[in-house]
Amino acid sequence: MLKIAVENIKNWIFVTGVIRSGTTFVGTILSLPREVDYIHEPFNPQCGLPCIDSWYPYLRKEPDTEEMKSYHRQISAIFSYDFSLRNKIPKEDPLWKRNLKKIIGSRGPFNLRIAKLNPFHTTAIIKDPIGNLLSEYLHLNFGVKPVIIIKHPLSFIASVKKVNWYPNPHEIGDRPELIADYFQDEPDFFKKQWPDRLLAAAAHWRVAYKVMLAQASKYPNWQVITHEELSQNPVPIFRNLYERLELPWSDKIEQKIIKLTQTNTSTQARKGRVQDFYRNSADIFKNRRNSLTKAERRAIFEVVEDVALQIYTKETFALE
pLDDT tens track for 176-216: 899 999 999 998 899 899 999 999 999 999 999 999 999 99
Q: Say yes or no to pLDDT of 265 above 70.
A: no
Quick check: 121 and 37 in contact, CB under 8 A? yes
- Looking at residue 63, what is its pLDDT? 85
Lowest mean pLDDT among 67-76, 221-230, 259-268, 281-290: 259-268
Q: Which residues 6+ apart lie within 8 Å of 109 measured at CB?
A: 84, 85, 86, 87
All domains of the chain, ordered by start, with CATH? 6-314 (3.40.50.300)
| CA atoms within 13 A of residue 241's CA, in its CB half-sphere | 28
Rounded to the nearest 5°, which phi and psi values hold at 226? Answer: -95, 150
Per-residue pLDDT, averaged over 313-318, amounts to: 96
pLDDT tens track for 127-146: 999 999 999 999 999 999 99
Whether the pTM exceeds 0.85: the reply is: yes
